[in-house]
Chains A and B, each alone.
Chain A
């Protein structure tokens, strides 16, 4: 991106100070969210989310696997994000790897909880088929197609939408398999179970520019930020994860303030997102 002139920087900072950003939004207003589900027919679930010019795609693939021996009654989930060079020429080759890793680990931290699966947004025990032998492995893949700031929030929204769209096939385990051999599992083609996403959190990123913080920053605004805090909040208003990025130090009271602002914003975001997902699914059903 071409650098901003001093005049442009002052304009952005001044606007944020006066609660009027360059595109006319208030400090705590999100850009319009556009959700499309079921765009990748080969995946178990998929969604595309557009937040202004930021465009991301998330897909969920469910495959049969063996559970971790330390947690025999839980399935496995892995999240991987890829930054496409179509978003930024600098993502060519291995250029996007750093950002991809940062986004993947931030998402894993927010959605997957601790090592034992405690506090995870996704209920891992629902992915278990046969204790200790067979479980579902969920591979969640994110792709950043176009980036205009706030990619983390968009990815979290896309993953939530993709999970709502995910249909896990019903399995029938043959009852007469010997107990220590790999049991026969019959994956049904017809019947599916819809994934329960009521516990999946959303992520709200607050970017501090000057003395105020804004929600859903564009790339221009992000270039002026001193620090950013990403808070992951679920429907019950509980915090599921927290990341602070950026070099400038923040007063602890400011952080607490940002977290409560994030909680407030997340309610509206959740409702908007849920209604968009429902509309997208209805659209999808009408077409098919």
Chain B
């Protein structure tokens, strides 16, 4: 199947290096300490952060740092075919662990010992790149909750089909069987916190694809920064500053 036509356009009309449209909103779940909605094209994800709060399970409490927990669940209607089991399946458990480890790397946990931070991510619509959308949404939600972090974490995926590196794969391109590289970076510190890939890729091509994904991450980072700045301005004006 042709994923990049001779004119260089993908199935949804994008250019190979073009990301899908990003949209983010902060503070959607008023009960949560912090929350955000993040959309990458048709992939839509809600993240809610509860914390820092008292540890529920005393045996897991740590005297030096905060406990970070994460749960990823997909809504029944998020995929094309209705899903039977929204959570508890192996893919969800794996992604929960991945998000937790990624966010734990950037949260200053030693500032909040004996406490717990819960990150809940709910996928409303899945169209490829859910992992990345979840991490981006979690970053915004943590910022909304005022939890101290060393840097924001942004994530983006890239692949390689029909001999062309493609940025930000959607579901159709992802299920084509080609490689899918997901990268998560700390943009200011320029460090990689998440790197996952499936399928196989030549070493030189891998470098190009990873570079492309990292560029995508930086683009997401500048968008996230804009959203946070806008949000802060609104808070300022509400306070009458």
Residue B120 contacts which of A46, A63, A92, A147 (CB distance < 8 angstroms)? A92
Known: A93-B88, A141-B75. A86 touches B82 (CB 8 A): no
Cβ of B86 and Cβ of A86 under 8 Å apart?
A: no
Name the interface size band of chain B. 20 to 34
Cβ contacts B1-30/A at 8 Å (1 or 0 each): 000000000000000000000000000111
Interfacial residues of chain A within 35-52, with CB under 8 A of chain B in the complex: 40-43, 46
7 closest cross-chain pairs (CB), A and B: A86-B48, A59-B77, A141-B76, A85-B120, A146-B29, A53-B30, A84-B122
Interface residue A123 (Cβ < 8 Å from any Cβ of B): no
0 or 1 for each of B71-82: is its CB under 8 Å from A? (1 = yes) = 101011101101
Q: What A residues does B122 contact at CB under 8 A?
A: 84-86, 143, 145
A85 neighbours in B (Cβ, 8 Å): 48, 71, 73, 118, 120, 122
Cβ-defined contact, B76 with A80, below 8 A = yes
Using Cβ atoms and an 8 Å threshold, which residues of chain B touch A139? Answer: 76, 82
Among A59, A61, A93, A146, the residue within 8 A (CB) of B31 is: A146
Size range of the chain A interface in the assembly: 20 to 34
Whether the pair A42, B75 counts as a contact (CB closer than 8 A) is no
Q: Who on chain A is nearest to B87 by CB?
A: A93
B95-123 interface bits toward A, Cβ cutoff 8 Å, 1 = contact, 0 = none: 00000000000000000000000101110
Residues of B within 8 A of A (CB): 28-32, 35, 42, 46-48, 50, 69, 71, 73, 75-77, 79-80, 82, 86-88, 118, 120-122, 124-125
A191 to B222, CA, bound (A): 43
Given the interface pairs A53-B31, A141-B82, the reply to whether A86 lies near B77 with Cβ below 8 Å is: no
Enumerate chain A residues within 8 angstroms of B42, measured Cβ to Cβ: 41
Contact check, A87 vs B75: say whether CB atoms are below 8 A apart.
no
Please state if A87 and B76 are interface contacts (CB–CB under 8 Å).
Answer: no
